[in-house]
Amino acid sequence: MLKIPAEFLKRIPKTDLHVHLDGSMRLSTLIELAKKEGVKLPSYTPEGLKKKVFKSKYANLLEYLRGFSYTGAVLQSAANIERVAYELGQDAIAEGVRYMEVRFAPQQHINDHLTAQEAVRAAVRGLRKAQKEHNTSAAVKKGEDLEFYFGIIVCAMRNFSAANSPYYAALLNVLSHAEKTEVIGTASLELARLAVKLVEEEHQPIVGFDIAGEEAGYPASDHKRAYQYVHKHFIFKTVHAGEAYGPESIFSALTDCFANRIGHGTNLFEEHLIKDPTVKNKKAYIRSLANYLATGRIGIEVCLTSNLQTLPEIKSVKNHPIRKMIEFGLPVSINTDNRLVSNTTVTKEWELLVKNVPLKPKDFKNIVIAGFKSGFFPGTYIEKRRFVRKVIDRYNALAKRYHVALY
């Protein structure tokens, strides 16, 4: 296995392109806000919550998702959202993350005192505060460190119920005679319209649109209108796909949603999960799909710990398809998914990769850089290229200092 010094791993510039705001708050903050907001928790100590809710291993996806009911309950005010976003930015910056895209579902935070617009603005304020603190530091001013940048990805939900938020409850009531797929599509289209408005009228750094939640039984095609809308307004697209369903889910993300990146993509190579009876040659189907992703440089947002926790068939990182993804030439990035719920950090995810997947020095460097190249970035293409060049120069300088081979 490739030997990477721990300090080098911590100091190199990294990305986190797939991180959920409501799954990534500090445990101490959750406890404090729960007491303040009157949210009942199973325990009010970090040890108790780690034992009862936020475990290192989960029995299934349902148990994994349980923690979001608590984190979501305390994120129902602009002040709380701003604080959690600020702390997430701080934590990411502290471990060397220099570009991140924070995603969340604004419609889940709508209530009598908070609109979706205000929820987005609050998240941006928090991240901008962390960004300003870092970018005005002496190290950055002296050129000894890189600036930190971020973008927001708004998420629509593949499925929801009235219990998810007052917004969803009202929508389900108004459209009580409509098909559920129509209601889901309406909600995502409204979010798409909001995203475009916030970008075009307020210049908010919304860089992407996503759908998350239950994948099996709730196809990406339900969200066609929303994706067409953001596509026509030059907002990038990512889709949670191939996590709980097979290669066809990834195919739908590409053909129905114009995906620029794929969230997870874990089941990309699983022939047995292809259900379409018209697909006669499953090997050829997967080969063509993977080749399309690789040739089009459509990034795969890999979340190792999260996948091990929600997909019990993957026994260890050694069994994770990331090795095959790399061998196929796919542009993979390493991400946390949920720092709290998965009990992880970006550095831990990289450590898992290095310790379990055979990599050459150039493979390691390419994955680091791929994260920045795959980022949607809130500036111009020229600004992004300039920043990526800085990342490469910084990586090379640190590699020389820590005696890490480049090739």
34-92 pLDDT, tens digit each: 999 999 999 999 999 999 999 888 887 778 888 999 999 999 999 999 999 999 999 99
Residue 351 has pLDDT above 80, yes or no: yes
Q: What is the dihedral of CA 192, 187, 213, 273, to 10 degrees?
A: -90
**pLDDT single digits (tens) 336-350:** 999 999 999 999 999
- Residue 362: how many CA atoms within 13 Å on its side-chain side? 3
- Is the pLDDT at 352 greater than 80? The verdict is yes
At a CB cut-off of 8 Å and minimum separation 6, what does 340 contact? 23, 24, 25, 26, 27, 30, 54, 67, 71
What is the predicted pLDDT for the residue at 178? 95
pLDDT > 90? residue 261: yes
Complete domains list, the chain, with CATH: 6-25+75-401 (3.20.20.140)
Which pLDDT score, from 0 to 100, does residue 65 have?
85
Contact 90, 130 (CB under 8 A): yes
What is the rounded distance in angstroms from the CA atom of residue 130 to the CA atom of residue 86? 6
Taking only the tens place, the pLDDT of each residue in 126-138 is: 999 999 999 999 9
Q: 228 or 61: which carries more pLDDT confidence?
A: 228
Average pLDDT rounded to a whole number, residues 147-171: 96
Tokens of 162: 């009235």
For Cα atoms 251, 254, 255, give the angle at the middle one, nearest 5 degrees.
Answer: 85
| Helices of type H across 175-268 | 180-202, 224-232, 247-257
Does 214 have pLDDT greater than 90? Answer: no
Q: What is the pLDDT of residues 297-332, one digit of tens each?
A: 999 999 999 999 988 889 899 999 999 999 999 999
